[in-house]
């Protein structure tokens, strides 16, 4: 699967997703492992030891399958690079990998990027079976042994490839479906259709998993449903903000702090206003951004008499007031829930997750009123 996030202008260097441990690089792309991925890896090796297979075979089997998932994501990144699209990072989660592209590819580009991952697993599976030559009957593959290790790795890759080709978000098949629909319809409408298919598939898989008492399938179904719902919501957000610049939603009435202010003074300003994030200034120059979470950490660690300059974020998200709101809105979340809107070196506004949400709500109300007005 490939999580594609549009870029923000003048964005700072990416920060790792919270909870990730370790980092590798392949083809220049950072590969990070979520701590739950590591726990699952150890757990699968632990529970798989015993029976008719050795501990070494169990370890090789589990690591080989997760390695196949990694190859899957690297193939996404390699094909994306052929189109000049940089992959910001690959994050390995228990349910699979996520490739984060720096920009949204065009429909024809996304088709080949999405196909690259499943194709790699299908090729690995077929190649292993061809090399092995003597394919075992399916009933002999249900019981793990040292003798059928290669066949089980091959079957695992084939299943991984086929599963990811299911035409529903957030799997690659959903992206293939979206890219095909986007050749004839607007991108956001294509995304909504693919996301609806993902939600339907998630519900169907969940019901089947409950009836068959297959709780692993229920877990996968929950992931598929939530991923599809999230992508559908993102598509609605892009549709509501499409055609508007950042200046249409930014806050223009805001307070700032001086680099010489203390954390105590910043806390008093936090309490006396509704603002939660404060630009830190030196005259007219912007030095950084003090967020509420950073303020609280500094209050607990450095004390109320420490200076805001020691706690502020110097790699804050910086946006142009003329940037397209639909492009930059995905960046306003999590640790970067506030961006400074800069016209050159002059601070002209703030864009926060809260006022972006209010902007989309007002747009929904406005569109609803327009539809009611035009109804016969």
- Residue 244 is encoded by which pair of tokens? 């508007």
Residue 360 has pLDDT above 50, yes or no: yes
Q: Which of 83, 106, 97 has its CA nearest to residue 3? A: 97
- Per residue in 105-162, pLDDT (tens digit) is 888 888 999 999 999 999 999 998 888 776 555 555 556 676 778 888 888 899 889 8
pTM: 0.66
Within its chain, how far is the Cα of 265 from the centroid? Answer: 36
Q: Which ranges of the chain does DSSP label H, i.e. alpha helix?
A: 35-48, 55-82, 107-132, 138-141, 149-164, 172-182, 187-211, 215-241, 263-272, 292-301, 325-328, 353-374
Q: How sure is the predictor about 3, in pLDDT bands with cuts at 50, 70 and 90?
A: very low
Active-site entry in 73, 110, 187, 231: 73
**pLDDT at residue 13 greater than cutoff 50:** no
In this structure, which CATH number among 3.40.50.20, 3.10.20.30, 3.40.630.30, 3.10.580.10 belongs to the domain 246-361?
3.10.580.10
Q: Is the pLDDT of residue 303 over 60?
A: yes
CB under 8 Å to 258, separation ≥6 — which residues?
280, 281, 282, 308
Residue 94 has pLDDT above 60, yes or no: yes
pLDDT in tens, 264-301: 999 999 999 989 999 999 988 999 999 999 999 999 99
pLDDT at 355: 87
DSSP helix/strand/coil, 332: coil
Of 335 and 312, which is predicted with more confidence? 312
pLDDT computed for residue 5 by the predictor: 38
Q: Report the C-alpha gap between 87 and 334 in whole angstroms.
A: 20
Which of 63-77, 79-93, 219-233 is the most confident on average? 63-77
Average pLDDT score over the chain: 81
Residue 8 — very low, low, confident or very high, per pLDDT cuts 50/70/90?
very low
Instruction: Report the DSSP beta bridge partners of residue 21.
Output: 33
For residues 216-251, one letter each, b for 16 or more C-beta atoms within 10 angstroms of the residue's C-beta and e for the rest, the string is ebbebbebbbebbbebbebbbbbbbbeeebbbebbe
Tokens of 188: 């956001």
Please report the DSSP string for 278-297 in residue order.
EEEEETTEEEEEE-HHHHHH
Note if 73 is an active site residue: yes
Tell me, what's the pLDDT at 51? 58
Q: How far is CA 282 from CA 262, 287, 288, 299, in A?
A: 14, 7, 10, 22
| Predicted local distance difference test score (pLDDT) of residue 2 | 45
The confidence score (pLDDT) of residue 47 equals: 61
């Amino acid at each position: 699967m490939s999580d594609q996030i549009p870029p923000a202008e003048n964005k700072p260097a990416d920060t790792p997703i919270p909870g990730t441990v370790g980092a590798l690089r392949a083809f220049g792309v950072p590969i990070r492992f979520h701590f739950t991925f590591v726990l699952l890896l150890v757990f699968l090796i632990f529970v798989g030891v015993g029976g008719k297979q050795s501990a070494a075979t169990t370890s090789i089997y589990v690591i080989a399958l997760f390695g196949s998932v990694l190859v899957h994501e690297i193939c996404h990144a390699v094909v994306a690079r052929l189109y000049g699209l940089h992959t910001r990072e690959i994050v390995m989660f228990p349910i699979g990998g996520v490739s984060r592209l720096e920009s949204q590819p065009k429909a024809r580009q996304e088709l080949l990027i999405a196909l690259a991952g499943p194709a790699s697993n299908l090729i690995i599976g077929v190649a292993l079976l061809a090399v092995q030559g003597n394919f075992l009957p399916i009933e002999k593959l249900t019981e793990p042994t040292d003798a059928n290790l290669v066949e089980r790795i091959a079957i695992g890759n084939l299943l991984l490839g086929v599963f990811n080709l299911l035409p529903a978000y957030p799997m690659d098949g959903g992206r293939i479906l979206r890219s095909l629909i986007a050749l004839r319809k607007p991108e956001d409408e294509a995304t909504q259709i693919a996301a609806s298919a993902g939600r339907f598939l998630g519900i169907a898989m969940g019901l089947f998993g409950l009836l068959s008492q297959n709780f692993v399938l229920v877990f996968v179904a929950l992931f598929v449903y939530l991923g599809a719902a999230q992508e559908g919501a993102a598509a609605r957000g892009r549709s509501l903000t499409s055609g508007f610049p950042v200046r249409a939603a930014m806050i223009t009435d805001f307070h700032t702090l001086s680099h010489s202010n203390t954390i105590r003074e910043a806390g008093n300003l936090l309490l006396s206003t509704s603002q939660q994030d404060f630009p830190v200034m030196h005259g007219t120059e912007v030095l950084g951004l003090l967020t509420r979470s950073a303020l609280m950490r500094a209050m607990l660690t450095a004390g109320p008499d420490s200076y805001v300059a020691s706690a502020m974020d110097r790699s804050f998200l910086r946006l142009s007031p003329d940037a397209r709101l639909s492009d930059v809105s995905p960046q306003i979340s999590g640790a970067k829930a506030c961006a400074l809107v800069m016209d050159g070196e002059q601070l002209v506004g703030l864009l926060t997750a809260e006022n972006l949400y209010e902007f989309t709500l007002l747009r929904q109300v406005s569109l609803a009123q327009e539809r009611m007005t035009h109804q016969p």
